[in-house]
Amino acid sequence: MKSSSFLNHSKNYLIAEFFNKGLMFLTIPIFTRLLTPNEYGILAVYGSIVTIFTIILGLNFHGSVARYYYEKSNDFNGFLKTNILFLVVFNGVLIPIFYISRNFFGEFFQIGGNLFVIAVIVSILSSFFNIFLASLQASQNSHNYAKTSVFVNSSTIIIAVIWTYFLVENRYYGNVYSQFLVLFSFIIFLLFRFKNIFLNNSNKEYLKYALFFGVPLIPHALSGIVLAQFDRIMINQLIGSFETGIYSFAYNVGLIMNVIVIAMNNSWVPIFYEHLKNNNYYKIQNLAENYSKLIFTIAFALILFGNEIVTLMADNDYFEALSIVPIIIVSYVFVFLYMLYGNYSFYHKKTGLISFNTFLAGFVNIGLNYLFIPKYGYMAAAWTTLVSYVLLFVLHYCNSKYILKENVIGLKNISKSFATFGIFLTVYYTFVANVSFLISEILKIGLCAVLAFIYFKKDMLTKNLKSK
C-alpha cells in the first residue's frame, strides 16, 4: 500500500469520525440543557449496555470480517451470508429469554426493564451494522464507509434532538427511539440492497472461521468495554445517576481524543499488516514514531484547552467535570500505545493473548472501581481507568516482544516523545494554568507550537532542504 493510499483512506476515516463525533459534540450543549444530569446519566448507562450487548449478541463476528477478506476475498459473500444467517437464528432464540428476564436486568443496571429490552434490540441491529462497516473497511472502501457512517449517525442525532425536545418527561427516550428507528430502517435497506449476497452458498467452514476468530475475542472486547464504559454503570449503582451524568459528560469531552486514535488506527492497520508481512520493520518504526508524536501533540492541545471546551458544551450544572477531562485524555493516549502493540497479536491471530490481556486489565479496573468509587467518587473512576490502560499497554508490549518474539516497534524514541509531552504538561500546570485568561491563552498557543516544532523539526528541515 502506497503512502498516498494510506493518507487517502486516513482522510476518509478521519472525515467520517470527525463529522460524526463533531455533530455529537455540537449537540452536547443541546442535550445538557434538555436533559438533567440524572437523565444524562441514565442515557449514558443505556449506551454502555448497548455497547456491551452488541459484542455479546454479535459474537464479535465483525472482528473476523477484515481478517477473512485479507486471506480469502474470492468467497467473501458466502462468508457474510453464512454468518449473518447464523446471527439471526442465534438472536432469535435469545430475545424471548431477555424479555422474560427484563426486570432482573433492569434492576441490576438501574434503568428499568423496558429500557433494557430496547437496548437489547438496538444491540442486535448494531451488530449487523458493524458487520457491514467491517466489510467496507476490509475491502478498503473507505469512501462508502465514510458516507454510510455519516448518514446513519447524523440521522440518529438529528432525530434524537427533535424527539427529545418534544418529550415532556423521561426525555432520554428521544435518543433511544431515534437510534432504534434509524438502525432498523437501515438494516431493512441493506437486506434489499444486497439481497444477492444470499444467493451465494453457505459453508460451515465460514461459520467455524468466524466463531474461532470472533468468539475468543469476546472477553477482550467486553473487557475493553469494561475499561471504557463499565465505570458509568458502577457509578450509577454505587453513587447515583447525577454523578454518572457528570462523569459521562466529561468522557464525552475526552472522546475527542478517542476519535482521533480510532480513526488513525483504522487507516494504520492495513499498512501495518502489509509492511509486517514484507518485514519492513524500519518503515513501521518510522511511521509509528511520527504517529505517536502527532497523538501526543493533539492530546497536549486538548488538555490545554479542555476548560474552554467544557465551558462551551454545558451549563454550570456540569462544570465540576473539568477536573477529570485531562485524566481521560491521557487515558486515550495509552489506548493509542496499547493498540500500537496489540496489532501484532491481531496479525498473528493470537486472539487468546489479546483477550487475556484485556480481561486482566478489565478485572483490575472493576476491582479498583469498587474499592475507590465509594470513597472518592467518580474522580476515582477516571484514575483507575488510566491505570488500567497503562497496564494494558505494558501487557501488549510484553506479549508482542517476548511471547510472539516479533521485531516490535522500539520504545526508546516513543518514550522520549512521551517524556517531552510530560515535561510540557508540567510546565503548563506549574507556570501557565493559573495566570490571567488572555495571557494564559497566548501561552497555551505558544506551548503547543513549541511542542509541535520539537517533535517535527527534523521533518520540517528535511522538507525545506528538498525544496531548495
Does the CA dihedral 359-362-363-364 come out positive or negative? positive
Does 467 have pLDDT greater than 50? no
Tell me 318's DSSP state.
Answer: G
How many Å apart are CA 29 and CA 252, to the nearest integer?
11
Cβ proximity of 220 and 363 under 8 Å? no
In total, the chain counts a number of residues equal to 468
Of the given ranges (68-77, 199-208, 213-222, 307-316), which has the lowest mean pLDDT? Answer: 68-77
- Tens of pLDDT along 286-303? 888 888 999 999 999 999
Does 91 have pLDDT greater than 60? yes
Question: For residue 271, what pLDDT band results from cuts at 50, 70 and 90?
Answer: confident
How many Å apart are CA 163 and CA 176, to the nearest integer?
10
Does 3 have pLDDT greater than 80? no
Domain ranges for the chain, please list them. 3-467
Does 227 have pLDDT greater than 80? no
Choose among 273, 242, 217: nearest CA to 60: 217
How many Å apart are CA 295 and CA 289, to the nearest integer?
10
Average pLDDT, the chain: 85
Choose among 408, 165, 187: nearest CA to 281: 408
Q: Give the predicted TM-score (pTM) of the model.
A: 0.73
**DSSP-assigned states of every residue in 387-423:** HHHHHHHHHHHHIIIIIS---PPPSHHHHHHHHHHHH
Question: For residue 210, what pLDDT band results from cuts at 50, 70 and 90?
Answer: confident
Does the CA dihedral 407-408-414-419 come out positive or negative? negative
How large is the average pLDDT for residues 219-240? 79
Cβ proximity of 241 and 38 under 8 Å? yes
- Tens of pLDDT along 51-69? 889 988 988 888 778 777 7
User: Dihedral, CA atoms, 38, 44, 49, 54, nearest 10 degrees?
Assistant: 160
At 420 the pLDDT is 93
At 95 the pLDDT is 93
Cβ proximity of 408 and 400 under 8 Å? yes
Dig out the grid coordinates for 77 from the structure.
459473500
What is the percent of the chain with per-residue pLDDT over 90, rounded to a whole number? 31
Instruction: Specify burial of residue 11 (Cβ count, 10 A radius: 0-12, 13-18, 19+).
Output: middle
Does 306 have pLDDT greater than 70? yes
Alpha carbons within 13 A on the beta-carbon side of 6: 15
